[in-house]
Chains A and B, each alone.
Chain A
């Protein structure tokens, strides 16, 4: 069975500081991994996805994530936080080659950006 654990339900950073949101996964088969962002009263928007092409994945809005198989991690980073980055972030996993309509999501991390 697949699962995702997001470490830290709430992360607070100052504007311009590094953003690091942690995600660890469990999967019995090689996974696809995703990061989504959710703004208030909106649906989920895909930030980036890992599908084995490269371990360092660059996404939208300056975010990137690195797949580390040995650590079963897929942490999300951004060098410099912007006020507009304040939102809920979800890490998700699905089976590679399987039905990517079924995603297993973590509990989410709320990112607060202080001026």
Chain B
């Protein structure tokens, strides 16, 4: 059983560009959350998707947007990239009130 898979594993972009990160949840999971983990920091909650809708959002600007597809996979989009967006982006999935399973993340570098 594949766990949470994220792609790509690494990505390099320049300031002002746009980026899309992808996440496939663990089999049987219908809820996906996204987190940003800056170097040396704990993960910070970006938003959560359930039934193809954003259900809860953290303190992130509108440049951060997402989508969830009917097969429960999800995308995180970041527009107008800033140097400060450089971080590890983690996707997590769950079913109901069960525990979160995290993917290995996408390392984004903004130059």
The chain A residues found within 8 Å of chain B, CB to CB, are 4, 36, 41-46, 49, 90, 92, 99-108
Q: Could you tell me if B42 and A99 are in contact, using CB atoms closer than 8 angstroms? A: no
Would A42 and B99 be within 8 Å (CB), given that A99-B48, A102-B33 are in contact?
no
9 A-B contact pairs sorted by A residue (CB < 8 Å): A42-B104, A43-B105, A44-B43, A46-B99, A90-B43, A99-B48, A101-B31, A101-B48, A108-B40
Report if B1 contacts A (CB, 8 A): no
The residue on B at minimum CB distance from A100 is: B97
Contacts of B104 in A (CB 8 A): 41-43
B96 smallest CB distance to A (angstroms): 9
Q: Could you tell me if A49 and B42 are in contact, using CB atoms closer than 8 angstroms? A: no
Q: Could you tell me if A100 and B42 are in contact, using CB atoms closer than 8 angstroms? A: no
Contacts of A42 in B (CB 8 A): 104
Contacts of B33 in A (CB 8 A): 101-102
A56 smallest CB distance to B (angstroms): 19
Q: How far is the CA of A100 from the CA of B48 in the complex (A)?
A: 10
Q: Could you tell me if B105 and A103 are in contact, using CB atoms closer than 8 angstroms? A: no
The residue on B at minimum CB distance from A41 is: B104
Q: Could you tell me if B58 and A102 are in contact, using CB atoms closer than 8 angstroms? A: yes
A35 smallest CB distance to B (angstroms): 12
B25 smallest CB distance to A (angstroms): 11
Having A43-B4, A46-B99, A105-B42, one finds 17 other A-B pairs with CB under 8 Å, namely A36-B102, A42-B104, A43-B90, A43-B104, A44-B102, A46-B100, A99-B56, A100-B94, A101-B31, A101-B33, A101-B56, A101-B100, A102-B56, A103-B45, A105-B43, A105-B44, A108-B40
